[in-house]
Chain A
Amino acid sequence: MDLTLIVVVVIVTALLFDFTNGFHDTANAMATSIATGALRPKTAVIIAGALNLVGAFLSVEVARTISSGLVDDTRITPVVIFAGLVGAILWNLLTWLLGLPSSSSHALFGGLIGATLVAAGTGAVHFGAVVTKVLLPAVISPVLAGVVALLATYLAYRVTATADDGTVRKGFKAGQIVSASMVALAHGTNDAQKTMGIITLTLITAGVLAPDSGPPFWVIASAGLAIALGTYMGGWRIIRTLGKRVSDIETPQGFAAETASTAVILASSHLGFALSTTQVATGAIFGAGAGRRLSTVRWGVAGQMALTWLVTLPAAAVVGAAAAWAASTGTAGTVIVAVVAVAVAVGIYAASRRRPVTAENVNDVPAATPAPAEQPIPA
């Protein structure tokens, strides 16, 4: 296949991944604000989309990590990156259908690693960088966000125990608007950069950019727009899971969870750790739930999520590897991969229409999973 054509195909596919990343991760910033009523659903996704766009322009540290760190860019081709993106997109769509907040980042890394292993062998994957820049933060960041949110929630309830209820509720509700906006901004600084990194890697492997180059402006702008548009579309299924199925979130908890997420994501982005914002936000919501009372957290849901987190990287790697194997047979193989991917994506979308979750019914949870009785922490 003509190199220019495949580069264009990869860039378009990367922007499609960015779009799925956006709607998959709207919940990270806005789930608790929507659940507590601090923001109307539609208002929430407009704010989140706009701030993701702004965030995309604030930093390129994570983009550099991806474009020059995880795989040997001298041993892979744009076709390999295309195959990796196919694995990531399909995993994102499947987990969205199931309402599971899996990591878009790990889907991306998994797809890329699987495709690279098949196309160029184990020597082309920088496993050291995978461990230090991806796996280690993946283990530490949700736990850290959970601990910060737990401590913050505990303090918030203790400190305001004797304060006026109305003032506290209104104050934390206003605070949630700010903290949710900060998470959306932080998400833009971290996740939009992953697509920037992938497109930059493609341009490097095609010889358009020199090795170790940063992303050009048009790459930053297009990645920012794609993730903003995806965020605006709202992944309502995952918003429902994080906002309503983990725990019954109150405004102090929502504020604490979002503040914890922001602190962890911004600190990590600044130092170039490509962490999963989904895992951070989810860890923070569990921490905030436990900070009020351990029994208010639905630990069964936590188990489902933990399982999804464990299989995300290998599952996307398997799909990416299969796509790379098929694409390696030539142009016909690449076209078949694209056609199959589109067919599966359309099938998943059609399946989602059977029980649609929208801005109107996002806060309606089935009666089968009643919330435990609310027990505030005594002063």
Chain B
Amino acid sequence: MTIAWGSLGIVVLASLAFGVAVVALVAFALVGLSARQATTNGARAALSPAVGTAVAVVCLAAVAAIVGYGLWIIVS
């Protein structure tokens, strides 16, 4: 009986890295988008609307790249 520890290790690391990263990136994107909302509400935001939008775009682009990479691995 041979246990493919290497493959199991890859599953564990990839799941941890991608699973946590995607959620964290979306959370940061929402913080960035909140800056625009805070301006509308008259509240004080940590980021300016422009910077917040830029952060959101970068984070969501990274999420799209991760999801696309995952799909590409499965299809290829």
Is the CB of A160 closer than 8 A to any CB of chain B? yes
Bitwise, B35-70 to A at CB < 8 A (1) or not (0) is: 001100101001000000000000000000001001
Interface size on B, residues (CB 8 A): 36
220-234 of chain A: CB within 8 A of chain B: none
| A264 adjacent to B11 (CB under 8 Å) | yes
Bound: A175/B24 CA distance, A: 12
Is the CB of A75 closer than 8 A to any CB of chain B? no
* CB-defined contacts of A145 to chain B, threshold 8 Å: 15
Bound: A274/B18 CA distance, A: 20
Q: Which partner residue on chain B sits nearest A166 by CB separation?
A: B37
* CB-defined contacts of B16 to chain A, threshold 8 Å: 144, 147-148, 151, 263
| A255 adjacent to B30 (CB under 8 Å) | no
Bound: A262/B14 CA distance, A: 11
| A260 adjacent to B19 (CB under 8 Å) | yes
Main DSSP-derived SS at the A contact region: helix
Bitwise, B1-35 to A at CB < 8 A (1) or not (0) is: 11110011011101110111011101111110110
B10 to chain A, nearest CB (A): 7
* CB-defined contacts of A263 to chain B, threshold 8 Å: 14-16, 18-19, 22, 70
| A144 adjacent to B26 (CB under 8 Å) | no
Total A-B residue contacts, Cβ distance less than 8 Å: 122
Is the CB of A239 closer than 8 A to any CB of chain B? no
Bitwise, A165-209 to B at CB < 8 A (1) or not (0) is: 011100110010010001000000100000000000000000000
Bound: A172/B4 CA distance, A: 36
126-146 of chain A: CB within 8 A of chain B: 127-128, 131-132, 136-137, 140, 144-145
* CB-defined contacts of A167 to chain B, threshold 8 Å: 30, 33-34, 37
Is the CB of A367 closer than 8 A to any CB of chain B? no
| B30 adjacent to A160 (CB under 8 Å) | yes
Starting from the known contacts A128-B1, A164-B34, A271-B10, 9 additional A-B residue pairs (CB-CB under 8 Å) come to A155-B20, A159-B24, A160-B27, A164-B33, A166-B37, A189-B74, A252-B27, A266-B73, A271-B4
4 smallest beta-carbon distances between A and B, as pairs: A128-B1, A152-B23, A263-B19, A159-B27
Chain B residues within 8 Å of A, Cβ to Cβ? 1-4, 7-8, 10-12, 14-16, 18-20, 22-24, 26-31, 33-34, 37-38, 41, 43, 46, 67, 70, 73-75
